[in-house]
Structure 1
């Protein structure tokens, strides 16, 4: 069993840390090597976006978690996919003036230690905006429970994204996020 070392959260250069972030995401999210390669290019494009914020959770010099986001833009691919689902539920205003959490992942062995909460809180606090939006797999997962504990609520469910069989839920929260303690069940991932 791996000894868990102290973890610090700090800003990271998203472009420089992208390969390490994708290693974390692959383990946390179960991505194939092909999916990692595709996402590496996407993260590279995101790193060039205006207003992007990225934070890493580091155990020594090892990235064990990361999160990044940016002010949402309607012309971004993600927004064009979710827009009709938000509009159908009267929530299209959540595409404007919001901070989009793009990715948030923590290595399985470091989950349940508050790193995800610290990462998302830090991103939202530094965004300078008064609302946040994200998408999560449409299932009762530790991630969805975390988001709800922070004040996120479902805006649209069963949203299909191209190239995935899993439906997603789009969630939104007013900022600052709620200050409720969250702890994942000991056996969850």
Structure 2
């Protein structure tokens, strides 16, 4: 997203967080994720099918951050953990090694959270994740993030997430991930 004519970033106050029909706007969401996370066209194609499958599952929900013009600039989605899903089967041994396997039960998993770079560092990601987890019936939340010092990890720590397992290697990922967990509701700063 380009800077405005005055050279300033877009005003985040013009962004509204609300319900998102992610299945209907999957391409808009993946365009945000591609810019925020650096995805290739091939990765976008794979993720499109994954998002659509997730959103058809029980308890899946999504929120979006849109501008006054209706442009999607951020989104989050998640669902109650299902021990049979791919993510759970990958992270289970890492969590078990750390004595944290019990976190898989009774948790709401944040599957994706992305904000367009022009709108980052303005509280939109925090607003998306807290609003989504506030609706969860589960008493805690899980997520995975790149296992690096990053603004995302700083955000998650500030919301009350803590590291449950580090150096988690997903089959197609080059970089290791960390699995993080938080008791709900998330902390407010």
**2:63 matched residue in structure 1:** 55
Q: Deviations over 1:60-95 (max 9, x none)?
A: 210000000000000000000000000011000111
User: How far does residue 2 in structure 1 lie from its aligned partner after superposition?
Assistant: 2.1
Give structure 2 stretches of 5+ with no counterpart: 5-9
**1:105 matched residue in structure 2:** 114
The aligned length equals 180
Which of 3, 16, 36 is the matching residue for 1:8?
16
Which of 124, 130, 139 is the matching residue for 1:121?
130
**1:132 matched residue in structure 2:** 141
Is 1:53–1:127's contact at 8 Å kept on the other side of the alignment?
no
**1:185 matched residue in structure 2:** none
Q: CA RMSD in A?
A: 0.8
The structure 1 segments of at least 4 consecutive aligned residues displaced by more than 2 Å after TM superposition are: none
Q: Deviations over 1:140-182 (max 9, x none)?
A: 00000000000000000000001110100000000111111xx
TM-score w.r.t. structure 2 length?
Answer: 0.94
Matches within 5 A, 1:1-189: 1-3=2-4, 4-5=10-11, 6-60=14-68, 61-180=70-189
SS of 2:165's equivalent?
Answer: strand
TM-score w.r.t. structure 1 length?
Answer: 0.94
